[in-house]
Amino acid sequence: MASGEELQEVDMKDIHKVSNPFNDDKVIANCSIFGAMSLEGRRFSGRDIITAIGNMRDRGNGQGGGFAVYGIYPEHEDLYALQVMYHSATAKDETETFIREYFNVAHDEEIPHNRGVEAIVDPPIVWRYFAEPRRIESCDNLKQDDYVVEKVMVINTQIEGAFVFSSGKNMGVFKGVGFPEDIGRFFCLEDYEGYLWTSHGRFPTNTQGWWGGAHPFSLLDWTVVHNGEISSYGINKRFLEMYGYYCSMHTDTEVVAYAVDLLMRKHKLPVEVVAKVFAAPLWQDIERMPEEERRLHTTLREVYGSLLLNGPFTIIIAHHGEMIGLGDRVRLRPLTAGIKDDMLYLSSEEAAIRLVCPDLERAWIPKGGEPIVGRVGLSEVIHKRYEAGVA
């Protein structure tokens, strides 16, 4: 008879063969991202997005999935759609008291969902409020967006059991614990129409899978989905705290969403410059650049060096009228772009694009560190970029 130690050794070997047949110590290439946008602003159903992200199911493990969609609330397009998750009725009561103190709420309702999706277990309460900032003396000098950001940070850091997971106008985030296709069915996203969709299938490697930690991460109408690891999270987080952004979701991607809001909305930097902050060249490469370019990169590193995203990453950033794909400088995570008529696609895998659009005009892999940008009304610019090989 085998000893206990021998039995334990055999069991561990068998488990290793089943759970890790490639003899890797850690899965580092997973998570799936997908984005689709009509460059003419044409609204379309979420059905194809659910199909595409579901095709990359093996890149996730069921610990997180989510979607961002733009143009879905035309009847409330001038109001902020505050979408909140609650872990208790007490948290809901406390948060609603806070919201109604600082906002005029035109309408609120439970976010429609299908509890018949068996794969989604123990979901939180999900509610949305269509609101505008209440004009009070304490915020006279703040822009409306800054006011909303401030109140979102208060809810997420000071009210236990409540967090705002979406806060933009005429857009919404829908996310949770589960495979993305199950999250899509849970939130009935086949019934929504928008002109820009992004989606994410999660395979967490360093943090827990929970509803607030699922992607997309969002602030105002900025959303981010991410594949990779942000090993600079600590310094990114501390830099952002100086500007009033507080990370509470225990996931590294949260810093990217806040950094995008800071750089693009508040500091008004173009996406091409933001890409140079996130995926900065090495100092030795900067030193070899022409004088004007060297001066720009040097200034960016000196001012925004703490927002450099260290580690492998591919991200899709979206806000109203624009979808942006960006990978790290040496392309350690995959990103494929495709275009057909007015549709721009970004994906971890080309197969997912071709599943929903078999007759692509062209598919290509963007260069590391250089953004792919789709903008409503400027489809000819996108065509010129990839035809010239710039993309």
Q: Which residues are catalytic?
A: 31
3-class DSSP assignment, residue 70: strand
Would the CA dihedral through 373, 377, 379, 385 be positive or negative?
negative
How many beta carbons lie within 10 A of that of residue 364, not counting itself?
15
How many beta carbons lie within 10 A of that of residue 390, not counting itself?
11
Q: What b/e string do you get for 80-107 counting C-beta neighbours within 10 Å, with b at 16 or more?
A: bbbbbbbbeeebbebbbebbeebbeeee
* Residue 51, token pair as written in the block: 């199909």
Closest CA to 325 of 340, 314, 312: 314
Q: What b/e string do you get for 108-135 counting C-beta neighbours within 10 Å, with b at 16 or more?
A: eeebebeeebeebeebbbbbbbbbbbee
Q: Residue 112: is the preceding peptide bond cis (ω within 30°)? A: no
Q: Give the C-alpha separation, 381 to 67, whole Å.
A: 27
Give the chain's radius of gyration (CA, Å).
22
Could you identify the residue written with the tokens 């992200």? 53
- Rounded to 10 degrees, the C-alpha dihedral 204/207/210/212 comes to -100
Alpha helices in the chain (DSSP H): 4-19, 47-54, 89-102, 144-158, 180-186, 233-241, 254-260, 271-278, 283-286, 291-304, 350-356, 379-387
